[in-house]
Protein backbone atom coordinates (compact mmCIF):
# COMPACT_ATOMS: atom_id res chain seq x y z
CA UNK A 1 0.00 0.00 0.00
CA UNK A 2 1.14 3.59 -0.67
CA UNK A 3 0.75 4.49 2.95
CA UNK A 4 3.63 2.18 3.92
CA UNK A 5 5.99 4.08 1.58
CA UNK A 6 5.57 7.22 3.64
CA UNK A 7 6.47 5.64 6.99
CA UNK A 8 10.27 5.69 6.47
CA UNK A 9 10.11 9.28 5.19
CA UNK A 10 8.05 10.38 8.19
CA UNK A 11 10.47 8.71 10.55
CA UNK A 12 13.43 10.52 8.95
CA UNK A 13 11.65 13.86 9.11
CA UNK A 14 10.70 13.26 12.72
CA UNK A 15 14.33 12.68 13.56
CA UNK A 16 15.22 16.07 12.07
CA UNK A 17 12.74 18.03 14.17
CA UNK A 18 14.10 19.89 17.18
CA UNK A 19 13.20 18.41 20.57
CA UNK A 20 10.22 19.98 22.32
CA UNK A 21 11.07 22.89 24.58
CA UNK A 22 11.18 22.10 28.28
CA UNK A 23 8.65 24.00 30.36
CA UNK A 24 10.15 27.03 32.10
CA UNK A 25 11.54 26.27 35.53
CA UNK A 26 10.00 28.32 38.31
CA UNK A 27 12.81 29.78 40.40
CA UNK A 28 11.91 31.11 43.82
CA UNK A 29 14.12 34.06 44.68
CA UNK A 30 15.98 33.74 47.98
CA UNK A 31 14.42 35.57 50.91
CA UNK A 32 15.85 39.00 51.61
CA UNK A 33 18.57 39.04 54.26
CA UNK A 34 17.38 39.85 57.78
CA UNK A 35 17.83 43.45 58.90
CA UNK A 36 20.98 44.13 60.91
CA UNK A 37 20.74 43.33 64.61
CA UNK A 38 21.96 46.84 65.50
CA UNK A 39 21.14 50.11 63.80
CA UNK A 40 22.76 53.42 64.67
CA UNK A 41 20.29 56.10 65.75
CA UNK A 42 20.90 59.53 64.24
CA UNK A 43 21.13 62.31 66.88
CA UNK A 44 17.93 63.94 65.66
CA UNK A 45 16.07 60.61 66.05
CA UNK A 46 17.08 59.86 69.64
CA UNK A 47 14.25 59.14 72.09
CA UNK A 48 14.26 61.01 75.39
CA UNK A 49 16.45 58.84 77.63
CA UNK A 50 14.65 58.99 80.95
CA UNK A 51 15.99 57.07 83.95
CA UNK A 52 13.40 56.38 86.63
CA UNK A 53 15.79 55.14 89.34
CA UNK A 54 18.31 56.96 91.52
CA UNK A 55 21.77 57.68 90.14
CA UNK A 56 23.41 55.90 93.08
CA UNK A 57 21.93 52.52 92.09
CA UNK A 58 23.39 52.94 88.59
CA UNK A 59 26.78 53.74 90.11
CA UNK A 60 26.69 50.62 92.31
CA UNK A 61 25.76 48.41 89.37
CA UNK A 62 28.41 50.00 87.15
CA UNK A 63 31.13 49.31 89.75
CA UNK A 64 30.36 45.60 89.41
CA UNK A 65 30.49 45.68 85.61
CA UNK A 66 33.77 47.61 85.77
CA UNK A 67 35.26 44.99 88.10
CA UNK A 68 34.27 42.32 85.58
CA UNK A 69 35.64 44.19 82.57
CA UNK A 70 38.91 45.11 84.26
CA UNK A 71 39.41 41.47 85.18
CA UNK A 72 38.63 40.27 81.64
CA UNK A 73 41.11 39.75 78.84
CA UNK A 74 41.49 42.69 76.47
CA UNK A 75 39.48 41.74 73.40
CA UNK A 76 36.98 43.03 70.87
CA UNK A 77 33.22 42.60 70.97
CA UNK A 78 30.95 43.01 67.97
CA UNK A 79 28.13 45.54 68.26
CA UNK A 80 26.52 45.72 64.83
CA UNK A 81 29.21 46.76 62.33
CA UNK A 82 31.41 48.13 65.12
CA UNK A 83 34.11 46.24 66.99
CA UNK A 84 34.22 47.48 70.56
CA UNK A 85 37.16 46.88 72.87
CA UNK A 86 36.93 45.99 76.54
CA UNK A 87 38.47 49.35 77.39
CA UNK A 88 35.77 51.28 75.52
CA UNK A 89 33.01 49.34 77.32
CA UNK A 90 34.59 50.34 80.64
CA UNK A 91 35.01 54.00 79.64
CA UNK A 92 31.38 54.03 78.50
CA UNK A 93 30.25 52.96 81.97
CA UNK A 94 32.42 55.53 83.75
CA UNK A 95 31.21 58.40 81.58
CA UNK A 96 27.60 57.21 81.76
CA UNK A 97 27.58 57.31 85.57
CA UNK A 98 29.10 60.81 85.51
CA UNK A 99 26.49 62.00 83.00
CA UNK A 100 23.64 60.54 85.04
CA UNK A 101 24.82 62.20 88.25
CA UNK A 102 25.20 65.56 86.51
CA UNK A 103 21.74 65.51 84.89
CA UNK A 104 18.75 66.69 86.92
CA UNK A 105 16.14 65.47 84.44
CA UNK A 106 15.60 63.36 81.30
CA UNK A 107 16.05 66.26 78.88
CA UNK A 108 19.40 67.21 80.41
CA UNK A 109 20.53 63.58 80.46
CA UNK A 110 19.61 63.06 76.79
CA UNK A 111 21.42 66.24 75.72
CA UNK A 112 24.54 65.29 77.67
CA UNK A 113 24.57 61.75 76.28
CA UNK A 114 24.18 63.01 72.70
CA UNK A 115 27.41 64.97 73.12
CA UNK A 116 29.55 62.03 74.14
CA UNK A 117 27.81 58.82 73.09
CA UNK A 118 26.50 56.88 70.12
CA UNK A 119 23.13 55.17 70.43
CA UNK A 120 22.41 51.81 68.78
CA UNK A 121 18.92 50.35 68.57
CA UNK A 122 18.79 46.58 68.96
CA UNK A 123 16.53 44.82 66.50
CA UNK A 124 14.96 41.65 67.83
CA UNK A 125 12.45 39.16 66.50
CA UNK A 126 9.25 41.02 67.37
CA UNK A 127 6.96 42.25 64.62
CA UNK A 128 8.21 45.81 64.95
CA UNK A 129 11.83 44.77 65.18
CA UNK A 130 12.17 45.68 68.84
CA UNK A 131 13.06 43.70 71.95
CA UNK A 132 11.09 41.21 74.01
CA UNK A 133 11.19 41.29 77.81
CA UNK A 134 10.67 38.80 80.60
CA UNK A 135 11.77 39.10 84.21
CA UNK A 136 13.25 37.03 87.02
CA UNK A 137 13.84 37.36 90.74
CA UNK A 138 15.37 35.47 93.67
CA UNK A 139 12.76 33.50 95.64
CA UNK A 140 12.94 33.01 99.41
CA UNK A 141 12.07 29.41 100.27
CA UNK A 142 11.74 27.30 103.45
CA UNK A 143 14.21 24.41 103.28
CA UNK A 144 15.70 21.58 105.32
CA UNK A 145 19.11 19.93 105.22
CA UNK A 146 17.39 16.59 105.90
CA UNK A 147 14.45 14.87 104.26
CA UNK A 148 11.31 14.78 106.43
CA UNK A 149 7.61 14.20 105.87
CA UNK A 150 7.28 17.97 105.43
CA UNK A 151 10.37 18.53 103.27
CA UNK A 152 10.26 16.00 100.44
CA UNK A 153 11.46 17.71 97.27
CA UNK A 154 15.24 17.75 96.75
CA UNK A 155 17.55 20.23 95.10
CA UNK A 156 20.54 18.41 93.62
CA UNK A 157 24.24 19.17 93.47
CA UNK A 158 25.91 19.14 90.08
CA UNK A 159 26.45 15.41 89.35
CA UNK A 160 30.06 14.30 88.82
CA UNK A 161 29.11 12.34 85.70
CA UNK A 162 27.75 15.44 83.93
CA UNK A 163 30.21 16.06 81.08
CA UNK A 164 30.53 19.51 79.48
CA UNK A 165 32.17 19.61 76.04
CA UNK A 166 33.55 22.80 74.49
CA UNK A 167 32.73 22.29 70.81
CA UNK A 168 35.21 24.94 69.68
CA UNK A 169 37.99 22.49 70.60
CA UNK A 170 36.77 20.39 67.67
CA UNK A 171 36.13 23.21 65.21
CA UNK A 172 36.55 26.99 65.68
CA UNK A 173 33.22 27.61 63.93
CA UNK A 174 31.52 26.33 67.10
CA UNK A 175 33.08 29.03 69.28
CA UNK A 176 30.96 29.63 72.37
CA UNK A 177 28.89 26.46 71.89
CA UNK A 178 28.86 23.66 74.44
CA UNK A 179 27.39 20.19 74.64
CA UNK A 180 26.27 18.46 77.83
CA UNK A 181 25.80 14.75 78.43
CA UNK A 182 27.08 11.63 80.14
CA UNK A 183 28.86 8.43 79.20
CA UNK A 184 26.49 5.47 79.51
CA UNK A 185 27.35 1.86 80.36
CA UNK A 186 28.13 1.06 76.72
CA UNK A 187 30.64 3.91 76.55
CA UNK A 188 28.43 6.08 74.36
CA UNK A 189 28.11 9.82 75.00
CA UNK A 190 24.38 10.51 75.43
CA UNK A 191 22.21 13.46 76.56
CA UNK A 192 22.06 13.96 80.31
CA UNK A 193 18.98 12.93 82.27
CA UNK A 194 15.90 15.08 81.63
CA UNK A 195 13.55 16.53 84.25
CA UNK A 196 11.27 13.50 83.86
CA UNK A 197 14.24 11.17 84.32
CA UNK A 198 15.26 12.93 87.54
CA UNK A 199 11.98 13.88 89.22
CA UNK A 200 9.70 11.06 88.04
CA UNK A 201 12.05 8.13 87.43
CA UNK A 202 14.48 9.01 90.22
CA UNK A 203 17.66 8.63 88.18
CA UNK A 204 19.74 10.69 90.65
CA UNK A 205 18.29 9.17 93.81
CA UNK A 206 20.57 7.26 96.18
CA UNK A 207 23.75 8.94 94.88
CA UNK A 208 24.23 11.40 97.77
CA UNK A 209 23.53 14.34 95.46
CA UNK A 210 20.69 15.86 97.50
CA UNK A 211 21.73 19.36 98.60
CA UNK A 212 18.63 20.44 100.54
CA UNK A 213 14.94 19.53 100.65
CA UNK A 214 12.01 21.86 99.92
CA UNK A 215 8.39 21.78 101.10
CA UNK A 216 6.68 22.28 97.78
CA UNK A 217 7.20 20.93 94.27
CA UNK A 218 6.27 24.34 92.87
CA UNK A 219 9.07 25.93 94.92
CA UNK A 220 11.48 23.54 93.25
CA UNK A 221 10.19 24.43 89.80
CA UNK A 222 10.37 28.14 90.63
CA UNK A 223 13.99 28.10 91.83
CA UNK A 224 14.96 26.06 88.76
CA UNK A 225 13.51 28.79 86.56
CA UNK A 226 14.97 31.71 88.54
CA UNK A 227 18.42 30.11 88.87
CA UNK A 228 19.07 30.85 92.56
CA UNK A 229 17.20 31.32 95.83
CA UNK A 230 17.45 32.35 99.47
CA UNK A 231 16.88 29.38 101.80
CA UNK A 232 15.54 29.64 105.36
CA UNK A 233 16.11 26.59 107.57
CA UNK A 234 14.02 25.51 110.59
CA UNK A 235 16.82 26.49 113.01
CA UNK A 236 16.70 30.08 111.75
CA UNK A 237 19.88 29.91 109.67
CA UNK A 238 19.98 31.03 106.04
CA UNK A 239 21.99 30.25 102.93
CA UNK A 240 21.87 30.81 99.21
CA UNK A 241 21.28 28.06 96.67
CA UNK A 242 23.44 29.27 93.81
CA UNK A 243 23.28 28.13 90.20
CA UNK A 244 25.86 25.39 89.50
CA UNK A 245 24.87 24.30 85.99
CA UNK A 246 22.15 22.54 84.01
CA UNK A 247 21.72 19.26 82.19
CA UNK A 248 22.05 21.15 78.90
CA UNK A 249 18.56 20.28 77.71
CA UNK A 250 16.50 23.02 75.99
CA UNK A 251 14.34 25.24 78.18
CA UNK A 252 10.57 25.09 77.66
CA UNK A 253 8.14 27.25 79.62
CA UNK A 254 5.72 25.30 81.81
CA UNK A 255 3.50 28.38 81.98
CA UNK A 256 3.25 28.52 78.19
CA UNK A 257 2.38 24.82 78.20
CA UNK A 258 -0.56 25.59 80.51
CA UNK A 259 -1.65 28.40 78.19
CA UNK A 260 -1.29 26.10 75.19
CA UNK A 261 -3.56 23.56 76.85
CA UNK A 262 -6.30 26.19 77.10
CA UNK A 263 -6.43 25.99 80.90
CA UNK A 264 -5.83 29.73 81.28
CA UNK A 265 -4.93 32.80 79.25
CA UNK A 266 -1.66 34.72 79.30
CA UNK A 267 -3.37 37.48 81.29
CA UNK A 268 -4.51 34.97 83.92
CA UNK A 269 -1.11 33.30 84.31
CA UNK A 270 1.14 34.28 87.22
CA UNK A 271 3.01 32.45 89.96
CA UNK A 272 -0.02 32.18 92.23
CA UNK A 273 -2.40 30.89 89.53
CA UNK A 274 0.18 28.42 88.19
CA UNK A 275 0.89 27.08 91.69
CA UNK A 276 -2.83 26.69 92.35
CA UNK A 277 -3.37 24.98 89.00
CA UNK A 278 -0.66 22.41 89.74
CA UNK A 279 -2.13 21.83 93.23
CA UNK A 280 -5.61 21.32 91.74
CA UNK A 281 -4.33 18.85 89.12
CA UNK A 282 -1.84 16.59 90.93
CA UNK A 283 -2.50 13.78 88.48
CA UNK A 284 -1.11 15.88 85.64
CA UNK A 285 1.66 17.75 87.48
CA UNK A 286 4.47 15.34 86.57
CA UNK A 287 3.49 15.39 82.91
CA UNK A 288 3.18 19.17 82.85
CA UNK A 289 6.46 20.07 84.55
CA UNK A 290 8.21 17.51 82.35
CA UNK A 291 7.34 19.74 79.38
CA UNK A 292 10.50 21.58 80.47
CA UNK A 293 13.30 18.97 80.13
CA UNK A 294 15.97 21.36 81.43
CA UNK A 295 17.16 20.61 84.96
CA UNK A 296 19.14 23.00 87.17
CA UNK A 297 21.78 22.06 89.73
CA UNK A 298 22.86 24.13 92.73
CA UNK A 299 25.54 24.72 95.34
CA UNK A 300 25.12 26.18 98.84
CA UNK A 301 26.99 29.40 99.62
CA UNK A 302 26.84 31.96 102.40
CA UNK A 303 24.30 34.72 102.00
CA UNK A 304 25.90 37.76 100.27
CA UNK A 305 25.90 41.06 102.14
CA UNK A 306 23.30 42.57 99.80
CA UNK A 307 21.28 39.36 99.56
CA UNK A 308 21.51 39.24 95.77
CA UNK A 309 22.92 36.40 93.65
CA UNK A 310 25.94 36.67 91.41
CA UNK A 311 25.36 37.14 87.71
CA UNK A 312 27.47 35.67 84.92
CA UNK A 313 29.93 38.53 85.42
CA UNK A 314 30.84 37.03 88.81
CA UNK A 315 29.45 40.03 90.73
CA UNK A 316 26.16 40.35 92.60
CA UNK A 317 23.21 41.61 90.59
CA UNK A 318 21.51 44.94 91.26
CA UNK A 319 17.72 44.88 91.44
CA UNK A 320 16.21 47.05 88.72
CA UNK A 321 19.58 47.70 87.03
CA UNK A 322 20.81 44.26 85.93
CA UNK A 323 19.62 42.48 82.81
CA UNK A 324 20.34 39.04 81.37
CA UNK A 325 21.21 38.96 77.66
CA UNK A 326 22.58 36.57 75.05
CA UNK A 327 26.36 37.13 75.20
CA UNK A 328 26.67 35.88 71.63
CA UNK A 329 24.66 38.92 70.55
CA UNK A 330 25.47 41.58 73.16
CA UNK A 331 28.65 41.82 75.28
CA UNK A 332 28.43 41.45 79.03
CA UNK A 333 29.25 44.78 80.62
CA UNK A 334 27.41 46.75 77.94
CA UNK A 335 25.43 49.84 78.98
CA UNK A 336 21.82 49.77 77.78
CA UNK A 337 18.68 51.85 77.85
CA UNK A 338 15.39 49.96 78.00
CA UNK A 339 11.86 51.08 77.35
CA UNK A 340 9.10 48.67 78.37
CA UNK A 341 5.83 48.56 80.29
CA UNK A 342 6.40 47.24 83.83
CA UNK A 343 4.07 46.39 86.72
CA UNK A 344 4.42 48.22 90.02
CA UNK A 345 3.80 46.52 93.37
CA UNK A 346 4.06 47.38 97.07
CA UNK A 347 6.31 45.67 99.63
CA UNK A 348 3.64 43.03 100.33
CA UNK A 349 3.46 42.08 96.66
CA UNK A 350 0.12 43.76 95.93
CA UNK A 351 -0.04 45.06 92.39
CA UNK A 352 -0.62 48.79 92.14
CA UNK A 353 -0.40 49.78 88.49
CA UNK A 354 1.40 49.21 85.21
CA UNK A 355 3.25 51.93 83.34
CA UNK A 356 5.87 52.45 80.61
CA UNK A 357 9.38 52.77 82.03
CA UNK A 358 12.60 54.17 80.58
CA UNK A 359 15.74 53.11 82.43
CA UNK A 360 19.49 52.74 82.14
CA UNK A 361 20.42 49.09 82.72
CA UNK A 362 23.56 46.96 82.47
CA UNK A 363 24.16 43.58 80.81
CA UNK A 364 25.41 41.43 83.70
CA UNK A 365 23.82 38.00 83.40
CA UNK A 366 22.72 35.29 80.97
CA UNK A 367 19.86 32.78 80.84
CA UNK A 368 19.02 29.51 79.14
CA UNK A 369 15.93 30.97 77.45
CA UNK A 370 17.58 34.29 76.57
CA UNK A 371 18.64 33.90 72.94
CA UNK A 372 19.12 36.50 70.24
CA UNK A 373 19.96 40.20 70.26
CA UNK A 374 16.50 41.41 71.25
CA UNK A 375 15.75 39.00 74.09
CA UNK A 376 16.10 40.52 77.57
CA UNK A 377 15.46 39.27 81.13
CA UNK A 378 15.10 41.96 83.82
CA UNK A 379 16.35 41.21 87.33
CA UNK A 380 13.84 42.42 89.94
CA UNK A 381 15.57 41.47 93.20
CA UNK A 382 14.08 39.38 96.03
CA UNK A 383 11.03 39.58 98.26
CA UNK A 384 7.28 39.76 97.69
CA UNK A 385 7.46 42.94 95.63
CA UNK A 386 10.04 41.45 93.27
CA UNK A 387 8.07 38.22 92.95
CA UNK A 388 4.83 40.01 92.08
CA UNK A 389 6.51 42.07 89.37
CA UNK A 390 8.78 39.39 87.92
CA UNK A 391 5.96 36.96 87.23
CA UNK A 392 4.03 39.57 85.26
CA UNK A 393 6.58 40.74 82.69
CA UNK A 394 6.17 39.28 79.21
CA UNK A 395 6.10 42.24 76.87
CA UNK A 396 7.55 43.84 73.76
CA UNK A 397 9.65 46.95 74.18
CA UNK A 398 12.77 48.70 72.97
CA UNK A 399 16.44 48.11 73.75
CA UNK A 400 19.31 50.45 72.97
CA UNK A 401 23.07 50.17 73.54
CA UNK A 402 25.11 53.23 74.51
CA UNK A 403 28.76 53.51 73.44
CA UNK A 404 31.16 56.30 74.20
CA UNK A 405 32.22 58.13 71.05
CA UNK A 406 35.75 57.22 70.06
CA UNK A 407 37.85 57.37 66.88
CA UNK A 408 37.65 54.12 64.95
CA UNK A 409 41.36 53.46 65.44
CA UNK A 410 40.93 53.18 69.23
CA UNK A 411 38.08 50.66 69.12
User: What pLDDT sits at residue 102?
Assistant: 96
| 38-136+310-404 CATH fold | Barwin-like endoglucanases (2.40.40)
Q: Domain ranges in the chain?
A: 38-136+310-404, 138-301
* Class of the domain covering 138-301: mainly beta
Neighbours of 260 (CB within 10 A): 10
User: What pLDDT sits at residue 147?
Assistant: 96
User: What pLDDT sits at residue 66?
Assistant: 98
User: What pLDDT sits at residue 403?
Assistant: 97
User: What pLDDT sits at residue 345?
Assistant: 82
- Report, as ranges of residue numbers, the positions in the chain whose pLDDT lies below 70: 1-27, 30-35, 125-129, 407-411
User: What pLDDT sits at residue 219?
Assistant: 93
Question: pTM value?
Answer: 0.82
User: What pLDDT sits at residue 125?
Assistant: 59
Amino acid sequence: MKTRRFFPILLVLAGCLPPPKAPPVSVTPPPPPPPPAFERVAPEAWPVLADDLAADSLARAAEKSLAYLKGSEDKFWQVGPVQVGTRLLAETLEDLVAARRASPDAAALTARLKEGFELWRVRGSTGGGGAFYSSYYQPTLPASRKKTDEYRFPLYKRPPDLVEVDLSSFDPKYKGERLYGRVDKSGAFVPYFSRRDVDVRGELGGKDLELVWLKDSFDRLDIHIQGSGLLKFPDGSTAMARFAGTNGRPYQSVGLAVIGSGAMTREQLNAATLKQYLADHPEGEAWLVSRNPRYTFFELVDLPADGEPNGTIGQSLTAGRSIAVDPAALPLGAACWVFVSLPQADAEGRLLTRAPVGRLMLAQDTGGAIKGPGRVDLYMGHGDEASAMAHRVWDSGELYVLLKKAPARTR
